Amino acid sequence: MFGLLKDTRVVGKANALIQRPPKDIFDFVGANFLTNYPRWSPEVVELKPLTEGPVKVGTMCHQVRVDQGRRSESTFKVMAFQPSQRICFEGVSNPYRCDYILELATPSSASRITFTFELLSLDVFMRPFEKLIRIAVQEGTEKTVRNIKKLVETELSDNSAQT
């Protein structure tokens, strides 16, 4: 019994139907990540690429976030970059994973985005707050998906109307 460690992963997952094709959403979330990430996640107060060139597998970034009044910094790396399908980030300095998956939905002009955020472990001093952390992580994933949906549908439909 004493040798068993409790799994301290904290997972939040949310999805939404967005009235745009997967390519448009991927361009917003993946290809234009450096510009748009602070827009759908306003907790990001600073984002700096640590590698040059467009976002791709291996791209590294440093971020400063203020979540519920708590400031944190982390470095993360793009682990998957599959146009129109998936972009995944993993913390290098902190144990977390962010995964955005896109699927064509019916009707074919719509797509489903599924966002999963995982804290891969909790520090011992945070374990008494695990339930609150789980609630905050779930609420955060839902907010992220709502923000992406709103931005993509509003901005891309506005661009379509102008052309």
CB distance 118 to 94 below 8 Å = no
| Res. 28: pLDDT tops 50 | yes
Task: Flag whether 76 is in a domain.
Answer: yes
**pLDDT for the residue numbered 159:** 58
Task: Flag whether 84 is in a domain.
Answer: yes
Domain of 49, CATH number, reads 3.30.530.20
Domain count, the chain: 1
Residue 24 sits in which domain range?
10-155
Comparison of pLDDT for 69 and 120, the residue scoring more: 69
Average pLDDT, whole number, for the chain? 88
Task: Flag whether 108 is in a domain.
Answer: yes
pTM (2 d.p.): 0.86
Structure tokens at 65: 């976030």
Please give the backbone phi and psi of residue 160, each rounded to the nearest 5 degrees, phi first. -65, -40
Q: Which tens digit of pLDDT belongs to each residue from 85-135?
A: 999 999 998 889 999 999 998 767 799 999 999 987 777 767 777 788 788
**pLDDT for the residue numbered 2:** 45
Comparison of pLDDT for 95 and 8, the residue scoring more: 95
3-state SS class at 59: coil
Please give the Cα distance from 83 to 41 (Å, whole number).
21
